[in-house]
Amino acid sequence: MNNNVDFSTMPATYIVCWNNNCPLKDNCLRYLGSTHVLKDRIVPSVNLNLVRPETGTCQMQRPVRKVRVAWGLKHIYDNLTARKKDAIYSQIHYGIGNTTYYHYYNERKPMSPEVQQYIRNVFAQHDIMEPVEFRRYEEVIDW
């Protein structure tokens, strides 16, 4: 599974795990991330005293999982009346927050599946049943 992960996208603040005896390590981003940390970097780490992998579960385990993120909010309002556009824009903008909204709008940050669903729900609340399509989609590791 390690071969499918682009570790250059790992956030600098990502919590890694150094437990190389863990039975879950082969499918755990926290452990795999620790194997790719540069030797001169200081990183947040799992407190190994809290982890009990012998039970077969670990509350800190993060499975290797890809998600479909979306980019671009500019075109989602194109087919709306002015009244609907204003109402939907206001609700989305308020729900996401000003700075984050404009990061999504200007494609500086991808939208998680949860944000995409929130936007689809807002459209549905305003009786817009056509599917909301974002400018582009991408499969990324769910850090």
Segment of 42-46, 64-68, 83-87 carrying the highest mean pLDDT:
83-87
Is pLDDT above 50 for 135? yes
Q: How far apart are CA 120 and CA 123, in angstroms?
A: 5
Is pLDDT above 90 for 3? no
- CA distance to 67, 84, 91, per residue, from 125 (Å): 25, 11, 10
Is pLDDT above 60 for 23? yes
Q: What is the pTM of this model?
A: 0.75
pLDDT, averaged across the chain: 90
Q: What is the mean pLDDT of residues 127-143?
A: 93
SS3 content of the chain, % helix, strand, coil (to 5): 40, 10, 50
Nearest CA-CA partner of 17 in 2, 27, 32, 4: 32
Is pLDDT above 70 for 1? no
Q: Which amino acid is at 63?
A: P
Structure tokens at 107: 């494609």
Is pLDDT above 80 for 62? yes
Domain spans, the chain:
1-64, 66-141
